[in-house]
């Protein structure tokens, strides 16, 4: 039953197509006759006739039944615009991809350059901070040293007596006795390789005026000579004063004895610095 209905439909389509072709042929004949009558000196143009369903401009069911497969030219005509459009889209996609990669590369390069500049700026800031700290430390150290130097200079002449020895002489003599030499040895030996001290030598002699002064000077020179020659005490560390018969501080009057007072004065600041 189904095959009969399908066959009937095919026959109807074939009759319809045949009728259309008949009408087309009639119309073409009438048009050709009119053209011949109007222009008898020209040959009529042949109407294009399709070879099959796929190549003709006016396809019909008969050509479809007789030639059901599409021709190669037809397929090319249909596929070529699509292929061209696909190629165009591929080119656009490739160009866009290239531009995106270019923009991304520039962005990465810019970010890297910015990062390098930021790192360099941080490094310079760190170096500047370190230099500032070093300068501050150097300034503080210099200030401390200046203060120490000022204190040292201010205390250079601050000597304190550490011991006093009295060397006695016979009247009118300047020769050192054995007891006097022993006493001077006790004073000089501890001063070996020492710094920051001076020795004050004061001579006293009975009498009046210049006579007493000269006598006290001779006794003091004997003491200095012994210290320098025997114990190598530097001369610049010995301070000599010829007092004559003058009274010293703390004495109501001169005792009248011929003597030399040896007083060792030490500078505590220099001693502490050596330690």
In a domain, 48, yes or no: no
Whether 147 has a pLDDT exceeding 60, the answer reads yes
Condensed to tens digits (0 to 9), the pLDDT of residues 256-265 reads 688 999 999 8
Condensed to tens digits (0 to 9), the pLDDT of residues 187-231 reads 999 888 888 888 999 999 988 888 888 999 999 999 999 999 999
pLDDT value for 39: 46
DSSP conformational letter for 36? H
In a domain, 104, yes or no: no
pLDDT value for 130: 92
In a domain, 4, yes or no: no
Question: Which one is predicted more confidently, 84 or 65?
Answer: 84
Sheet holding 160-168, edge to edge: 160-168, 259-266, 197-204, 238-244
pLDDT value for 226: 93
- Please tell me the number of Cα atoms within 13 Å of 181 on its side-chain side: 9
pLDDT value for 35: 45
Task: State the alpha helices, DSSP H only, in the chain.
Answer: 2-38, 61-66, 72-154, 178-188, 209-231, 268-274
In a domain, 115, yes or no: no
Residue 229 belongs to domain spanning = 160-274
In a domain, 110, yes or no: no
In a domain, 187, yes or no: yes
Task: Enter the tokens of residue 55.
Answer: 């190549």
Q: What is the CATH number of the domain that holds 249?
A: 3.30.1330.60
- Please tell me the number of Cα atoms within 13 Å of 17 on its side-chain side: 15
Contact call for residues 159 and 266 (beta carbons, < 8 A): yes
Condensed to tens digits (0 to 9), the pLDDT of residues 6-57 reads 565 555 556 665 555 555 545 555 545 454 444 455 666 565 555 555 555 4
Among the listed residues 200, 214, 201, the one whose alpha carbon sits nearest the alpha carbon of residue 172: 214
* Total count of domains within the chain: 1
Integer-rounded Cα Rg, in Å, for the chain is 69
In a domain, 206, yes or no: yes
The pTM assigned to this predicted structure is: 0.43
Condensed to tens digits (0 to 9), the pLDDT of residues 86-135 reads 888 888 998 898 899 889 888 888 888 888 888 889 898 999 999 999 99
Query: Cα angle at 168 between 167 and 171, to 5 degrees?
Result: 145
Whether 145 has a pLDDT exceeding 70, the answer reads yes
In a domain, 229, yes or no: yes
Whether 173 has a pLDDT exceeding 80, the answer reads yes
């Amino acid at each position: 039953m189904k095959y009969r209905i399908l066959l009937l439909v095919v026959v109807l389509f074939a009759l319809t197509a045949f009728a259309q072709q008949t009408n087309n042929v009639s119309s073409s004949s009438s048009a050709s006759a009119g053209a011949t009558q109007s222009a008898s000196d020209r040959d009529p143009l042949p109407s294009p006739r399709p070879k099959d369903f796929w190549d003709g401009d006016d396809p019909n069911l008969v050509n479809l039944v007789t030639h059901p497969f599409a021709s190669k030219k037809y397929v090319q005509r249909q596929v070529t615009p699509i292929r061209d459009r696909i190629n165009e889209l591929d080119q656009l996609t490739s160009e866009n991809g290239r531009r995106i990669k270019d923009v991304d590369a520039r962005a990465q390069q810019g970010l890297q350059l910015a990062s390098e500049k930021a790192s360099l700026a941080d490094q310079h800031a760190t170096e500047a901070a370190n230099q500032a700290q070093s300068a501050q430390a150097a300034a503080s150290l210099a200030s401390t040293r200046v203060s120490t130097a000022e204190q040292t200079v201010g205390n250079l002449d601050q000597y304190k007596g550490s011991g006093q020895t009295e060397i006695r002489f016979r009247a009118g003599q300047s020769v050192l006795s054995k007891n006097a030499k022993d006493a001077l040895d006790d004073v000089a030996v501890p001063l070996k390789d020492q710094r920051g001290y001076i020795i004050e030598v004061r001579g006293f002699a009975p009498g009046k005026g210049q006579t007493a002064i000269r006598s006290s000077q001779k006794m003091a020179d004997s003491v200095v000579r012994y210290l320098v020659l025997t114990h190598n005490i530097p001369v610049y560390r010995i301070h000599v004063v010829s007092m004559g018969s003058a009274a010293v501080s703390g004495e109501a009057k001169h005792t009248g004895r011929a003597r030399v007072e040896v007083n060792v004065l030490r500078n505590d600041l220099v001693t502490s610095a050596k330690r």
